[in-house]
Amino acid sequence: MGMEAETTCVWAGQPAAVKILLEAGEIILRGGLKRRLPVASLDNRRADNKGLHFTVEGQPVTLALPHAAAAKWLHKIETPPPTLAEKLGVSKARPTYVIGPVPDPALEVALNGAVTADGARCHSALAVVSSAAALGTVLTAHTALPAGTPIWIVHGKGRSAAFGEAPVRDAMRQAGFIDSKVTAVSSQYTATRYAAQKPNRT
Topology of domain 84-196, CATH: Rossmann fold (3.40.50)
**Is 114 within 8 Å of 95 (Cβ atoms)?**
yes
DSSP-based three-state secondary structure for 23: strand
Cα atoms in the Cβ-side hemisphere of radius 13 Å centred on 24: 8
**Is 77 within 8 Å of 84 (Cβ atoms)?**
no
Please list the residue range(s) of the chain that carry CATH number 2.30.29.30.
3-78
Over residues 71-110, the pLDDT tens digits come to: 999 999 998 888 999 999 999 999 999 999 999 999 999 9
Q: So what's the pLDDT on residue 202?
A: 47
Q: So what's the pLDDT on residue 4?
A: 94
pTM of the model: 0.72
Instruction: Show the beta-strand stretches assigned E in the chain.
Output: 3-11, 14-23, 26-31, 35-38, 43-48, 51-56, 59-63, 96-99, 124-128, 151-156, 177-184, 189-196
**Is 189 within 8 Å of 160 (Cβ atoms)?**
no
Please list the residue range(s) of the chain that carry CATH number 3.40.50.150.
84-196
Q: So what's the pLDDT on residue 173?
A: 96
Strands 51-56 and 3-11: unpaired
113 membership: H or E segment, kind and range: none
pLDDT under 50: residue ranges of the chain: 202
Name the packing angle between helices 165-174 and 132-142 (round to 10°).
40
Task: Name the residue among 54, 49, 78 with its Cα closest to residue 35.
Answer: 54
CA distances, 135 to each of 42, 106, 117, 128, 140 (Å): 43, 21, 20, 8, 9
Topology of domain 3-78, CATH: PH-domain like (2.30.29)
